[in-house]
Amino acid sequence: MSTLHAIVPARILRRWDDIAAAQLCDAASRLVEENERLAMDAADAWQMLDNERDINRELAELCDAKLGITKDGQMLVLPAASSS
């Protein structure tokens, strides 16, 4: 790096530093925006799962059935066993 200082004037090095800092700030800003968008998407997904669970619970109660879950994590309503 000392060789670079000997060849390139200090004002140019400062300018490059300013440009690099501006680029880093822009990239950080874009990452913050993307992170916020992903957090909102995740919140929406959790809300949809909560809604699905509530609907399945209501369905199970109305049908005198039970809630179940598959090995893959899929929620389902199991019909009540017949008492014949």
pLDDT tens for 14-61 read 999 999 999 999 999 999 999 999 999 999 999 998 998 899 889 888
pLDDT at residue 29, rounded to an integer: 97
Question: What pLDDT score does 10 carry?
Answer: 87
Nearest to 1 by CA among 15, 19, 13, 12: 13
| The pLDDT value given to residue 50 | 93
How many whole angstroms separate alpha carbon 58 and alpha carbon 63? 9
Residue 21 in any domain: the answer is: yes
Q: Record the pTM.
A: 0.58
**CA–CA separation, 38 vs 36, rounded Å?**
5
As for how many domains the chain has, the answer is 1
53 found inside a domain: yes
Average pLDDT, stretch 71-79? Answer: 87
The range of the structural domain enclosing residue 47 comes to 2-78
Residue 84 lies in a domain: no
